[in-house]
Structure 1
C-alpha cells in the first residue's frame, strides 16, 4: 500500500518553536559565564534561558523521527523508496553538514591556528567530520545521520511487530537509559552527545506519533474530553523545567545538588515533555485564526535548518567585538543585541540564499522561494509568507 500523506503545517510551527529554544541556549551562554554575582536577577534569567532552552535539539530530533514515520510507515518498503529516501538525505542534510564542518574548521584555524601543516589539518578535519565535532552544534546533524542509517531497519520492525509500535515510547526510554548506564559505568565515551543512542526516547516518541498520528491529533482536538490528560502533560513540563533549571542553578552557584543520573533524568524528561507540549500547542494553534502568526512560524520552520547551521558564526564574531564585562547595562544590552543580530542575520542570509543563489541546497539544505522574480518583472504580485 502506498498512501500519500497530508502536509502538516504543524511541523513547521514546531520547528520554529524549537529554533527559538536553540537561540535561547546559545545566546545566553556568555551571560551565564560572565554575569557578576550569581545572586543577581540577570544571572537567574540567563541560567533559565540556557537550561530551559535545552529542549530545542531533542525537539528537532523528535520532529525528524515523527515526519519520517508519518511519511513512510504507510508505504510499501521497496528498494526504490529507500533509494529516494537516502538521495534526499544525502543531498539536503549530509552535503550541508560537510560544507559547514569545513566552514567552521577553516574559521577556527584562521583565528586560533595556522595553515602551515596542511596534511595534519586535513587529518584533523576528517576526524572532526567523522565524529560530529566540526563545531559544537553540528552533533545534531551527525546523530541525525546515524538515525537515517538505522531508519530502514526500525521502520521494518515497527511495521512487523505491533508490540514495538504500541510500546515504542517505553522501549525508547529503556534503550536510552541502558546506553546511559553502560556508558557511565563501562564505556566512558567522551562525546556521548554525538551518539544517537543518547536520544532514543525522542526518536521513538516521534515514531509513535508518526504511526498513530490520526489518533493522537483527534485526541488533541477533543481537548475538552481529554482536558485532564493535556493539563497533566503541561504541568509535568512546567515541573521538569523547574527541576532541571534548579539543578543547574545549584551547580553554577556551588550549592549541593544531585548526581549525574539525576541530571540526565531531569534533562531527558524535561525535553520529552517539551516535545509533547509543543506537539499539543501547535495543533491548538492550527485551529486558531492567527494567519500572520502561522505564516511567520511556517517561514521560520522552513529556514530553521539553515539558521541552525549559520547562527554560531554570528555569535562567534559578535562575542569577539563585544564587551566581556563592564557596566551591567552595557553588557546585558549587548547580549540582547547579539541575540537579535544572530537571529535576524541568520534568517536574512538563509532566505537570501533560497531566493537568489542557485543550488542553495548545497549550503542550507532544502528550501523554498517566497518571491517569484519573473512574476514581479511581469507585474504579477507574489504570494506573501
Structure 2
C-alpha cells in the first residue's frame, strides 16, 4: 500500500470500504424519482378543480429531490474515495476507464433505445441522415429522453473531478468553506445566465448543480468527522434541526408556488411581489428544496442504517444497489402503462397511478437484477453492481470487518 503524508493528513492509495448508508440514500432517492414520474400524469391530466390535484402536485414537487440527491451522492462518493489517495496519472486513468465503461456505455445504449422507440411511435424523420444528426445532438445534450440529463450531468462531473480534486487538496479555505462557495458559484451562474447568456438548456449544464457538487465534496472529505458529530445531541439541535425546518419550509413554498402556476393563479399573485422575487423564485425554490432534501436524506440514511431490521435493510440496500439500472429503464415501463390506461373513472384512474408507481419499480428491479445475474457483460446495460450487494448480510458484515482491519 502506497502511503504519503501531506501536512497533517495521511494519504494512501487503498480504496475505502463502501458505506451502507449511501446505498440506503440511493434507495430513498430512486423512490422519490419514481414518485415524480408516476405523478406527472396526474398533474397534467386531471382537472385542477379535483380535490386530489393538490395531492398530486405536492407529491410531484416534493419528490423532485431524487436526481439532485444522486448528483450530490456521486460527488460525495468520488471525494470520499479519492481525496485520501495520492493523485497521479495512473489513478486518474483508472478513474476515467471505469466511468467510461460503467456510466457512459449504458448512457449511450439507453439513449439509442429511447430515441429509436420515440422515432417509431411519434416521429417521422425525412431521412436516416437527418435522424442520425438529430440523435447525435440529443446525445450530446443528454436529451434522448428527459431523465437522461442526470447521466449527462454526471459525465460533466467526472470531467471536472480531477480539477476539483486538485483544487480541494491544495486549498484549505476551499475545503472548509465548500458549502457556501458552491451555493455562491451556482447563483452567480444563474444570475449571469438569466441576464446575459440566456441559455435555455441550463438543466443540462453542470454549472446549475455546483452547490450539489461542492456539498457532496465537503461531506466526502470530512465524512468521518461529520458522522461522529451527528451522534452529538447539540450538533443535531444546532445543525440538523435547522436543516429539517428549512426543508419543511422550502418544500411548502416550492409546492405552493408550483400549485399557483399550475392552476393559473400565479400571475395574479406575482404582480404583488418584487421583481427580484418573480425573476428568481423558481430557481430559488427548486435549488433550495433539492439541497435541503439531499442533506435530509443523507442524515435519514444514517438513521435507517442503525434502526432498520436486517430484512428491511437488505431490501433498501438492494434497491440502492440497483438504483442506476432502475433509473435508466423505468421510463420504458412508464410509457407502456400510460399507453394501457390513460383515462377512465376517477377511482380507476387514481388506483392505476398508484399501481403504476409500484409496477414500474418492481418490474424495473426484476429486469435489472435478472440482467446482473444472468447476462454476460451486464455492465454494458446497467453499469456495475457493487460487489458486496451480492453477499448475504452476515458475509457482507464479515467482509466489511476484514477490510477495516
Taking the aligned partners of 1:136 and 1:5, their CA distance within structure 2 comes to: 34
Taking the aligned partners of 1:85 and 1:225, their CA distance within structure 2 comes to: 35
Taking the aligned partners of 1:371 and 1:230, their CA distance within structure 2 comes to: 33
1:60 aligns with 2:70: yes
Q: For residue 15 of structure 2, what is the aligned residue in structure 1?
A: 4
Secondary structure of 1:366 counterpart: coil
Deviation at 1:371, TM superposition (A): 6.9
Secondary structure of 1:358 counterpart: coil
1:362 aligns with 2:380: yes
1:297 aligns with 2:307: no
Deviation at 1:198, TM superposition (A): 0.5
Q: For residue 147 of structure 2, what is the aligned residue in structure 1?
A: 137
Q: Which is further off, 79-88 or 361-370?
A: 361-370
Taking the aligned partners of 1:327 and 1:143, their CA distance within structure 2 comes to: 40
Q: For residue 34 of structure 1, what is the aligned residue in structure 2?
A: 45
Q: CA RMSD in A?
A: 1.9
- Aligned pair count reads 374
Structure 2 unaligned blocks of 5 or more: 1-10, 271-276, 398-405
1:264 aligns with 2:265: no
Among 204, 213, 224, the residue aligned to 2:223:
213
1:109 aligns with 2:109: no
Q: What is the TM-score of this pair, normalised by structure 2?
A: 0.89
Distance verdict in 2 for CA 1:131–1:319, change over 3 Å: same
Taking the aligned partners of 2:19 and 2:237, their CA distance within structure 1 comes to: 23
Q: Which is further off, 256-265 or 21-30?
A: 256-265
Q: For residue 285 of structure 1, what is the aligned residue in structure 2?
A: 304
Give per-residue Cα distances to partners, 1:216-254, cap 9 Å, x unaligned.
101112236533432221111111111110000111112
Taking the aligned partners of 2:386 and 2:192, their CA distance within structure 1 comes to: 43
Q: For residue 22 of structure 1, what is the aligned residue in structure 2?
A: 33
| Residues 22 and 57 in structure 1, CA contact (< 8 A), matched pair in contact too | yes
Structural mapping, 1:92-131, within 5 Å: 92-114=102-124, 117-131=127-141
| Residues 371 and 383 in structure 1, CA contact (< 8 A), matched pair in contact too | no
Distance verdict in 2 for CA 1:384–1:110, change over 3 Å: farther
1:275 aligns with 2:280: no
1:161 aligns with 2:171: yes
Secondary structure of 1:226 counterpart: helix
Structure 1 unaligned blocks of 5 or more: 373-381
1:343 aligns with 2:354: no
Q: For residue 60 of structure 2, what is the aligned residue in structure 1?
A: 50
Q: What is the TM-score of this pair, normalised by structure 1?
A: 0.93
Distance verdict in 2 for CA 1:40–1:114, change over 3 Å: closer
Report runs of 4+ in structure 1 exceeding 6 Å deviation.
369-372, 382-385
Give per-residue Cα distances to partners, 1:146-190, cap 9 Å, x unaligned.
110010000000000001101111111011111111111111112
Distance verdict in 2 for CA 1:225–1:177, change over 3 Å: closer
Taking the aligned partners of 1:262 and 1:199, their CA distance within structure 2 comes to: 17
Taking the aligned partners of 1:225 and 1:200, their CA distance within structure 2 comes to: 26
